[in-house]
Amino acid sequence: MKWTYPIVAFIVVFVLGFGLTNLIKEELEVSPWAESGAEEGRLMAHTKNVTRLVNAGAADLHAYLQTAIPYEEAKTAAMSPSEKNWQEFFIQSLKVDPEAKNVVVVPGGGKEALKWALPALYYAYFNGSPVLFYENGKLSGNTQSLNDKKIFIIGSGDEIPNLEELKEAERITANSPQHLALKLAEYRDEEAEFGWGREVNRNNGYFHYVLTIPDDALLGLAAITYARSNNATLLYAEEDGGISGELDRYAFAQRPDWFVTPSEGPFRHFWIVSNRISYAAQGRLDFAIEKAEYASMGPVALGDLEALLLILVIWGIASALFVWIHSMYTLPMVKMPIKISWALASLLLPILGPVLYINSYRRPAKEVEKGDWRWIRSHNQQSATATAMGFGYGANLMIVVGFILVWFGFPLFFGEGMEGPFFWLGAGMPIMMIAMYVFAVLIAWLLVQYPMKKSMMPEMSNKQLSKMALITTALSMLAVSLGMMTTSWYMLMNKIPMMPKEDDVLWFASMWLASFVGFLIAWPINWLLIKKHLKPGNV
Amino acid sequence: MIKYICNILLGILVISCGKTEGGPGGGSHPLQQEATATAYTVRLPGSNPEEQAILLTQTVYPATREDNAVGAIILVPQDEHIAFTAMHRITHMPVNAPMLFLSEDNTISEQTLREMKRLKPDGVLQDERTDVYAVNVPEDQVKKIRDILAYRVRTFYEEDPVKLASVLDRWQAALKADHPDEVVISAIDHPEGIQHGMGAMGWNAHMGKGFAWVYRDSIPQATKDILKRRYGDHGSFMYLTGGPDVISDKVARQLGEYGLVRRVAGKTVFASNTVNAGYKDFGRNWGWWWDWTPRSWGWGIAQAGHNYIIGNPDDVLYMIPAAVLGHMGKHGPILFVKADSVPKATADYLNMVKPFKTGPQETILNFAWIIGDTTSVNIATQQSVDRLLSPFDVPVDTSSYLPDAPILQEKKD
């Protein structure tokens, strides 16, 4: 019967390993369905967090926005922007604020200069900052505007040299227009009132973003009205229509959370003005800034509670590996089923598992029969060991059964016969709990406790052994369940606003936490079982 | 060797993460030109209920990955009362289901079937991984879904909306192992019963509370059964959508037998829905020793920084599925306008929640979805709404809010 223990361990490792691997896979995937029909049959291009302004060019977009956003405060020049007149277009659009505390210096000239200048032009237009263009070795415009204002030189780094009148200036540079746009989105000089300052810790702003690609910078300029009407920051996607890892990171950092209901602010929004940005990128951005509850921050993002509980899972895996490797190398006198049990128990008892394990075996031992060792332990320690023996297999099996049910879906019963005070017995969660207990007891009884007791008490009849194993398994796991079920109900149905699914780290983490509590509840109950000699605590 | 294995594994990992580059996303879309966007509004220009519902699912669910696809789909015939009841009770989490319509001949059109395929439901884990909730959908159409799309379908067959509400109440209770104590109550036999309750339906699509029908002057048995299912001394917390002309005072008094009764009502359907947007009821519900749960019903929005779903009250079948915009994305309540003007009740409310100019780090903005094409809400009305939502002043000249009518300033012969 020795084969039964590794079989149980394999089931546990396989199912939970599969679940965790699936979780990691789904978190890492970007837009896996984008090219398999997600865009098929779409009647229009807008999504809930991304509005797409499909256009026939900068002139078309500019004309459209002049009608769509008619506000005096956000007016732009009447002329259409082009690669030749973009500086003039901007200067005519800009309403300089005489009290502005900053001046912006950007490269001037052709299309390449516009790519680098545009992110800064958005802020300057929003703020009313004077703008000077550097072209052909000199600055355009009135350099007197530099007096008493902080100068910001924005660009690629080597385009604008250290001129005499710019020696006090602060340079903001990057190695690509995309990086520069992101830098300006996060940058803030409070004294000079320069930069959007839209970092991850700005939780309250209703931030809007205009998104184009550097090659379509002119479209971004045509949409500069959004910088005033919607306080929109300019960001760049990649030339191939996708978004970079950095933009992906930034967008996820901007995902707003909610505490009471998702209708509370803020929300964030993208305005895509380049036709060349892909649907996959749009879908990713729409998803990245979708509001999520504080606990988990939704899929992919890592919420605070999620991060905290994830530590339990990671430490649990580390604890199990430590106990397994340590016992294999240093405790040849401990039998394999006991080692497996300690490793599985440690999986769900981060830190505590290894502490109890070490405390159990750093003690005097004696060989009662050939190959059969016993350790001298206190009553409390014996209780802990006895709890871990049942818990290691039982609690893990309960999670395995729970995961399988979540994966395939809970059954549901709501017929007229289910009305009345016990209607909740037809609900998935109670069914899952009952199934977790029943199936875990049955498997642990047949494949673990019965063979274990048989090897320890060979003189007892099979019937007696079977009965005794069933009672102790049922009692022991009932004790674990008391803590485990109440905690998992509290976590999944009460604490976490949206019940996590099988591909959510909070589901696993809640189970880990529930198991931990289950162990703490079962420990004193096993104290009684040890006292009644119903369980051994010195193996 | 280990180095090579690590490199291969890393490569597989990077490739498996996927990519976002692809063909131009701004390709041709038949209704893109009609989907007009202003600074603070975007129009979803449906010209019939089926098309409107598809536009809504396409807006809310890009379906580029499991997490932005649907949990399930609600499929109903074009019956206002059935659709209203279903949207009240099915949409909210954990189901996460938008609504699609059958055609007028009670079949699934090719366009709707394709959209159902695109949506790739994840299946509701609390309900046997159900992909489609088919309410009063003919059996041959259900079979079509199972055969062609291989989706799991749960069917509800109940022609009487009053009884349907009861069936869905039992189903929801099993789904959540709980009966939500807050129950929205609308009048089924009042011609504007649904319109008065549209905003409250939006709240339920957003928060998943209870729903029941009453008649203007009596309470049906199925509704009494729903209310009796709520436990505790308080019973239910009932929110009647409409004034005494919609649900009589007699019914309100009788409902008092089952718990606390409140009205969410204005004199017109426009006012009822602005009241709903600003309404909040909270207080005692349930508590014992160390744990307690307050009742909490209503949007309670009286300040800037929110989203609205705005449409024409005559377009009931357009507005019902639009409640999904209150369930995902920016969320937010439903408001009504006329096709050619913003009624005073709605304009007053939007003026109250008007944002103000702020800095780059604490920006506060409103947003709204305009439901329907320009015959439902014309361009001028969309622009009027936009200005009301904006942080900019509304001009003293409010002529844009007036319907087209002969000018009174000149003496006519």
What would the pLDDT profile of A127-149 be if each residue is shown by its tens digit? 999 999 998 888 887 777 677 88
Beta bridge partners of A269: A208
Candidate ranges A155-159, B12-16, B296-300; pick with highest mean pLDDT: B296-300
Of A73, A279, A286, the CB nearest to B22: A279
Length of chain A: 539
Instruction: Please tell me which residue, A197 or B27, carries the higher pLDDT value.
Output: A197
Instruction: Please tell me which residue, A349 or A468, carries the higher pLDDT value.
Output: A349
Do A514 and A401 share a structural domain? yes
Mean pLDDT (whole number) for A219-227: 96
Number of domains in chain A: 2
- pLDDT band at B413, cuts 50/70/90? low
Do A316 and A274 share a structural domain? no
Rounded to whole angstroms, the Cα distance separating B149 from B117 reads 7
What strands lie across the sheet with A150-155, from one edge to the other? Answer: A138-139, A131-135, A102-107, A150-155, A170-173
Chain A partners within 8 Å of B299 (Cβ): 263
Do B127 and B64 share a structural domain? yes
- Cβ distance B171 to A37 less than 8 Å, yes or no, reads no
Chain B partners within 8 Å of A485 (Cβ): none
Report percent pLDDT > 70 for chain A: 100
- pLDDT band at B9, cuts 50/70/90? low
Do B220 and B195 share a structural domain? yes
Phi, psi of A274 (to 5 degrees): -100, 125
Rounded to whole angstroms, the Cα distance separating A329 from A318 reads 17
Do A355 and A280 share a structural domain? no
Do A331 and A264 share a structural domain? no
Mark which residues 73-132 of B lie under 8 Å from A by CB.
Answer: 93-94, 111, 114-115, 117-118, 120, 122-130
What is the CATH classification number for the domain harbouring B232?
3.40.50.12090
Whether the per-residue pLDDT at B395 is higher than 70: the answer is no
Question: A432-452 pLDDT, tens per residue?
Answer: 899 999 999 999 999 988 888
Instruction: Answer yes or no: is A26 within a domain.
Output: no
Rounded to whole angstroms, the Cα distance separating B46 from A46 reads 14
Rounded to whole angstroms, the Cα distance separating A376 from A378 reads 7
- Cβ distance B16 to A28 less than 8 Å, yes or no, reads yes
Do A346 and A202 share a structural domain? no
Do B188 and B169 share a structural domain? no
| CA separation, residue A385 to residues A322, A338, A390, B19, B198 (Å) | 17, 10, 9, 50, 60
Range of weakest confidence among A3-7, A359-363, B393-397: B393-397
Whether the per-residue pLDDT at B14 is higher than 70: the answer is no
Do A403 and A285 share a structural domain? no
Mark which residues 127-186 of B lie under 8 Å from A by CB.
Answer: 127-130, 170-171, 173-178
Give the residue carrying structure tokens 């976490």.
Answer: A496
Question: B261-273 pLDDT, tens per residue?
Answer: 999 999 999 999 9
Whether the CB-CB separation of A235 and A185 falls below 8 Å is answered with: yes
A&B contacts, CB < 8 Å: 317
Question: B278-305 pLDDT, tens per residue?
Answer: 999 999 888 888 888 888 999 999 999 9
Question: B238-256 pLDDT, tens per residue?
Answer: 999 999 999 999 999 999 9
Instruction: Answer yes or no: is A363 within a domain.
Output: yes
Do A281 and A333 share a structural domain? no
Look at residue B234 in the predicted model and tell me its pLDDT. 75
Look at residue B10 in the predicted model and tell me its pLDDT. 59
Beta bridge partners of B124: B130
Tokens linked to A314:
């990671």
User: Which of B9, B70, B110, B125 to mutate to probe the A interface, most A CBs <10 Å?
Assistant: B125
Do A375 and A518 share a structural domain? yes
Do A248 and A322 share a structural domain? no
All residues at 6 or more sequence positions from A183 whose CB lies less than 8 Å from its CB, including other chains: A172, A174
Tokens linked to A191:
């004294």
Number of domains in chain B: 3
Domain C-terminal end among A264, A293, A322? A293
Whether the per-residue pLDDT at B406 is higher than 70: the answer is no
Instruction: Please tell me which residue, B83 or A204, carries the higher pLDDT value.
Output: B83
Look at residue B358 in the predicted model and tell me its pLDDT. 84
Relative to beta strand B153-156, strand B210-214 is unpaired
Do B104 and B202 share a structural domain? no
Whether the per-residue pLDDT at B333 is higher than 80: the answer is yes
Average pLDDT, chain B: 90
Whether the CB-CB separation of A443 and A7 falls below 8 Å is answered with: no
- B9 and A CB contact within 8 Å: no
Nearest Cα to Cα of residue B195 among B261, B267, B252, B272: B272
Strands (E), B256-343: 259-264, 281-288, 291-297, 307-311, 334-336
Nearest Cα to Cα of residue B156 among B76, B73, B54, B224: B76
DSSP 3-state assignment of A232?
A: strand
Whether the per-residue pLDDT at B110 is higher than 80: the answer is yes
DSSP letter string, A18-53: HHHHHHHHHHH-SSTTTTTTTTTT-S-S-BTTEEE-
Distance of residue A97 Cα from the nearest chain B Cα, in angstroms: 14
Do B279 and B215 share a structural domain? yes
Do A240 and A380 share a structural domain? no
Q: Pick the residue from chain A with its C-alpha nearest to B175.
A: A427
- B287 and A CB contact within 8 Å: no
Instruction: Answer yes or no: is A12 within a domain.
Output: no
Range of weakest confidence among A369-373, B100-104, B390-394: A369-373
* Exposure of A198 in the CB half-sphere (CA atoms within 13 A): 29
Of A46, A242, A275, the CB nearest to B59: A46
Chain A partners within 8 Å of B122 (Cβ): 501
Q: What ipTM was predicted for this assembly?
A: 0.91
Do A226 and A96 share a structural domain? yes
What is the CATH classification number for the domain harbouring B125?
3.40.50
Do A494 and A427 share a structural domain? yes
Tokens linked to B28:
């041709």
User: Which of A46, A187, A248, A486 to mutate to probe the B interface, most B CBs <10 Å?
Assistant: A46
Domain C-terminal end among B125, B153, B178? B178
Do B296 and B311 share a structural domain? no
| CA separation, residue B82 to residues A91, B161, B206, B322 (Å) | 58, 6, 18, 15
Domain C-terminal end among B161, B178, B195? B178
Instruction: Answer yes or no: is A516 within a domain.
Output: yes
Whether the per-residue pLDDT at A490 is higher than 70: the answer is yes
- pLDDT band at A423, cuts 50/70/90? confident
Question: B133-144 pLDDT, tens per residue?
Answer: 999 999 999 999
Of A34, A39, A197, the CB nearest to B360: A197
- pLDDT band at A270, cuts 50/70/90? very high
- B305 and A CB contact within 8 Å: yes
Give me the domain span that covers residue B365. 30-45+307-396
- pLDDT band at A536, cuts 50/70/90? confident
Give the residue carrying structure tokens 């159900």.
Answer: B130
| CA separation, residue B222 to residues B181, B209, B212 (Å) | 16, 17, 8
Distance of residue B242 Cα from the nearest chain A Cα, in angstroms: 23
Instruction: Answer yes or no: is B86 within a domain.
Output: yes
Whether the per-residue pLDDT at B310 is higher than 60: the answer is yes
Chain A partners within 8 Å of B379 (Cβ): none
Instruction: Answer yes or no: is B3 within a domain.
Output: no
CB contact burial A468-477 (16+ within 10 A = b; e otherwise): bbbebbbbbb
- Cβ distance B62 to A279 less than 8 Å, yes or no, reads yes
Give me the domain span that covers residue A521. 310-413+423-531
Instruction: Answer yes or no: is B174 within a domain.
Output: yes
Look at residue A95 in the predicted model and tell me its pLDDT. 94
Average pLDDT, chain A: 90
All residues at 6 or more sequence positions from B96 whose CB lies less than 8 Å from its CB, including other chains: B70, B71, B72, B124, B327, B328
